[in-house]
């Protein structure tokens, strides 16, 4: 099943067409994706029986919003691909290095991001979405806690991220629009192997990041087991699972995002998200 949010309403996506969940269920199910995630198994069972003819809304990619617009908790993991840890000057960590992207930065798949002052960088990431109350789940049952997978960008302003001793990652990764996600949430059964997906980040059409998710130091089930060993996870919580090598601040010379740039983040079997950028002088805080 592929869950999308089209013009603010939850839909099941099938190719270029979508089915409005609230209408097709005659109000039995909510139009709000957060409510649907609270009762996810029921939604999946309902969606599995849908006839082809209910997919009657054309999907306009630009009308898609974040599949999970209001997560309660957003986890993100640093240095989870060995080549990225190496380019950052570290050996792979022995424990997951966890920070947050504050939920106000979460947006949809096709956005324009205002660049704050500083050095803004890209990080394509697989994002796991929690689908049930989860506390102390074992690694071998952790996939059962996942509603599905989506694509995310952990956009990062490096000056804010790395200032201070010790540095504090979360604020520099939480500027408005720094957490684009989408285009849809895809359930694990849609993949041949949800632990091994091609992941690619393209800057102005050129692949700057490219790996497979099986390279992760801590794969999705292990991350969920380790996080839930400490605290309860809730439906709709997001886990940004780390980025492959090829970020801008490790290039020589370093390369940061500018107002002319065009960023595409793509994961096999899910799709792609697309960001453009505007210059700092175009930011007018309310």
Residues that bind Zn ion (CB under 5 A): 123, 154, 243
Those residues whose C-beta lies under 8 Å from the C-beta of residue 124, and which sit 6 or more positions away, are 151, 152, 153, 199, 200, 201, 209, 243, 244, 265, 266, 267
Q: Which is nearer to Zn ion, 20 or 154 (CB)?
A: 154
**Nearest Cα to 9, choosing from 19, 17, 286, 1?**
19
Least Cβ distance, residue 77 to Zn ion (angstroms): 7
CB of residue 243 to Zn ion, shortest distance in Å: 5
Structure tokens at 279: 């210059």
Give whichever of 30 and 161 is closer to Zn ion, judged by the CB atom: 161
C-alpha 176/C-alpha 172 separation (Å) is 10
**Strand 124-130 to 238-240 pairing:** antiparallel
**Between 111 and 243, CB nearer to Zn ion:** 243
CB of 229 to Zn ion, least distance (A): 22
Q: Which is nearer to Zn ion, 154 or 237 (CB)?
A: 154
- Write down the least CB distance from residue 220 to Zn ion, Å: 15
Structure tokens at 271: 């799709």
Residue nearest to Zn ion (CB): 154
Place of tokens 């506390």: 135
**What stretches of 89-232 show up as alpha helix (H) in DSSP?**
158-162, 169-172, 220-228
Q: Using the minimum distance from each CB to Zn ion, give the nearer residue, 123 or 272.
A: 123
Closest to Zn ion by CB, 176 or 232: 176
Shortest distance, position 157 Cβ to Zn ion, whole Å: 13
CA angle in degrees (0–180, nearest 5) for 178-182-188: 130
The residues near 48 (Cβ < 8 Å, ≥ 6 apart) are 1
In whole angstroms, the minimum distance from the beta carbon of 87 to Zn ion comes to 13
């Amino acid at each position: 099943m592929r869950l999308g949010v089209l013009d603010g309403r939850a839909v099941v996506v099938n190719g270029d067409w979508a089915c409005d969940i609230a209408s097709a269920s005659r109000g039995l199910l909510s139009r709000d994706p957060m409510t649907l995630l609270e009762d996810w198994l029921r939604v999946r069972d309902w969606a599995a029986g849908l006839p082809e003819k209910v997919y009657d809304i054309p999907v306009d990619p630009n009308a898609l919003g974040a599949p999970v617009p209001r997560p309660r908790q957003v986890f993100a993991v640093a240095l989870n691909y060995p080549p990225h840890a190496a380019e950052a000057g570290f050996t792979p960590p022995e424990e997951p290095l966890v920070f947050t992207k504050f939920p106000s930065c979460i947006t949809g798949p096709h956005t324009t991001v205002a660049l704050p002052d500083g050095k803004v960088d890209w990080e394509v990431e697989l994002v796991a979405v929690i689908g049930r109350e989860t506390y102390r789940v074992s690694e071998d049952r952790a996939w059962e806690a996942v509603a599905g997978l989506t694509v995310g960008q952990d956009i990062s302003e490096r000056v804010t991220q790395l200032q201070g001793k010790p540095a504090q990652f979360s604020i520099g990764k939480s500027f408005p629009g720094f957490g684009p996600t989408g285009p849809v949430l895809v359930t694990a059964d849609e993949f041949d192997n949800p632990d091994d997906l091609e992941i690619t980040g393209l800057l102005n059409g050129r692949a700057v990041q490219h790996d497979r998710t099986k390279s992760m130091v801590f794969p999705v089930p292990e991350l969920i087991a380790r996080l839930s060993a400490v605290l309860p996870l809730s439906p709709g919580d997001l886990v940004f699972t780390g980025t492959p090598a090829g970020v801008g601040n490790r290039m020589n010379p370093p390369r940061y995002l500018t107002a002319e740039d065009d960023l595409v983040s793509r994961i096999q079997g899910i799709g792609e998200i697309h960001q453009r950028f505007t210059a700092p002088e175009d930011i007018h805080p309310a």
